[in-house]
Amino acid sequence: MTAAQDAFRSWFYRPWFLAMLAAALSASLLMAGSYFVAIQQVEQNESREMNAQGERFLARLEQLFGQLRESLDDLEAQPLRTCNDEMIATLQQVSFNYRFVYEAAYMDATRICSNRPRQEGLSLLRPPDIKGPTYSYWLNTTTEPDENRAALMLGRGNFRVATSRGHLTDMVDLSPGSSLLVVLDQGTRAIPVLGVSQVWSLTEQWPPSKTRDALQVTPTRLIYRMPTDNPEFQLVLISPRVGTHIPPVWWWLLSASLVLAACVGFLVFLLVRQRQSLDAELTGAIRRGELQVLYQPIFDLDSRNCVGAEALLRWRRPDGTLTSPDLFIPMAENTGQIRQMTDFVLQRLLEQLGQLLRSNPQLYISVNLAACDVMVPRIGQVMARLLTLHRVAAKQIAFEVTERGLIDVVVARENLQALRDVGHQVLIDDFGTGYCSLAYLQTLPVDCLKIDKAFIDALGHDAASSGVAPHIIHMAQSLHLKVIAEGIEYESQAALLSSEGVKFGQGWLFAHALSAVQFIELITRGRRLANRRLDDEA
């Protein structure tokens, strides 16, 4: 299983594979997003077209029905009530006066007369589709594919007037397969006024909700429900969706998506190569001795005497450039090289400062521990062997752990207690930036808290974090813990911290990180701070 995992991991971390995977995923996401945008634009265009077509139909229908009602009112107002030449002349005059009246007729119990007597005539025997208090409505009065045949008919009393399909289609040209329907009988029956018959089924309560979108899009049809105030009927425009027309913007979006995906893949390739290159370089740096240990002195704020130092690992390339610890330390933690680095720091500091520590029993050096070393007892075994070899007291080597490194507090407590039992001091580094609370502190085997530089910088300012440092100081005092302030750069900070009861501090006010030779010279000459930093003379 381990071999299989290693093989998979080695394959998975190949730069070209990760680059192709990133490019494929980003292309899929970008293309899906582009397709969604294109489809949205298509539906918006369809909606605009259907809305415009529906508005034109409504406007024309209002004109048609308005003229048909007016013509009926004129016929009903005149006194003639028999089929004779005078009635036919009257009917012809009405069709002449009203543009949209194609045919006008009079009917009684025995006869029917029309302004177009030679044509087949209106279908007068069918009951009206809509019967109102004044007017009755007949829809699609003929199925003949002839624009000069009646399509809509209104009746009042003994009179009928009709319009033709041409009066509707001269405003809106329906596409093939489209239909204008009038939905009746509580939404259960649909009569085509224009176009072909359509399959219709009641899909919602009647009357339709006004809050519903006017356009309903299905995989095969566009259904546009025109707004009407009459609850007895509804006008519906149905148009088939022959196929989704991809707008031109889709091809631009597709091209842009592929270019961006290629860029993402290339960037991932470069990042992975850089990471792998840095990983390989770090392995070589350890072997070639490019890593070095520097020492950041820790001072008594009152006497300004140096009481110890924090060991810092630095990577100096052959060309003299320094690689930031923020870059290679996290990578070493991920690859497991951090254990080798910690052992290197412990061995190197004892080789460089063993004699100094033996000569100055009150002096101590603190070393940072990674989370992986806090969770296992390994470091105590390594330290015991080195202390015996260099004859240095355990109390002179302290260990710094961060709050974020305390992944499992119970396990960490046991391992830290084991280090304290043999004499090592335990410090919490960068306190206040993690999740360690007062309740945890009371249970952890800790000797000292180190306040993060960010809180020291906020002292004396109106920043929201300006009160954090005093709070940490008072917390530590209540638990009888020592406090070390990090990153002190100004005398005013040192004076304020000292007034708050802080005993120790480190920072550029006193000294930069020193080499072993400089640190030894600092201790042996007993230097104190005058009007310049200690490392100015080192």
Compute the distance between CA of residue 26 and CA of residue 28 in angstroms, rounded to an integer: 5
List of the chain residues with pLDDT < 50: 1, 6, 9-10, 13, 143-145, 148, 150, 527-538
List helix spans (H) across 99-247. Answer: 165-169
Which domains are assigned to the chain? 39-195+212-240 (no CATH), 294-536 (3.20.20.450)
* Tokens representing residue 234 in the block: 């509804």
Question: 335 to each of 11, 270, 278, 330, 508, how far by Cα in Å?
Answer: 16, 19, 11, 9, 32
- How is residue 526 annotated by DSSP? T
- In degrees, rounded to 5, the angle at the alpha carbon of residue 489 between the alpha carbons of residues 486 and 491 is 110
Quickly count: other Cβ atoms within 10 Å of residue 204's Cβ: 11
Collect all residues with Cβ–Cβ distance below 8 Å to 261 and sequence separation of at least 6: 23, 24, 26, 27, 30
Res 438: pLDDT: 61
Contacts 24+ apart (CB under 8 A), 11-17: 13/272, 13/276, 15/268, 15/269, 15/272, 15/273, 15/276, 16/269
Q: Cβ(424)–Cβ(398) under 8 Å? A: yes
Hey, is 137 helix, strand or coil? strand
Query: Residues of 401-429 as b/e, b for ≥16 C-beta within 10 angstroms?
Result: bbbebbeeeeebbebbeebbeeebbbbbb
Res 216: pLDDT: 77
Hey, is 232 helix, strand or coil? coil
Compute the distance between CA of residue 381 and CA of residue 27 in angstroms, rounded to an integer: 52
Q: Cβ(75)–Cβ(280) under 8 Å? A: no
Nearest to 298 by CA among 517, 538, 534, 507: 507
Nearest to 184 by CA among 147, 143, 132: 132
Res 37: pLDDT: 74
Q: Is residue 370 exposed (0-12), middle (13-18) or buried (19+ Cβ within 10 Å)?
A: buried
Query: Residues of 298-334 as b/e, b for ≥16 C-beta within 10 angstroms?
Result: bbebeeeebbbbbbbbbbeeeeeeebeeeebbeebbe
Res 293: pLDDT: 92
Quickly count: other Cβ atoms within 10 Å of residue 381's Cβ: 9
Strand 397-402 relative to strand 425-431, pairing: parallel
Res 348: pLDDT: 93
Res 468: pLDDT: 78
Over 417-460, what HEC string results?
A: HHHHHCCCEEEEEEECCCCCCHHHHHHCCCCEEEECHHHHHCCC
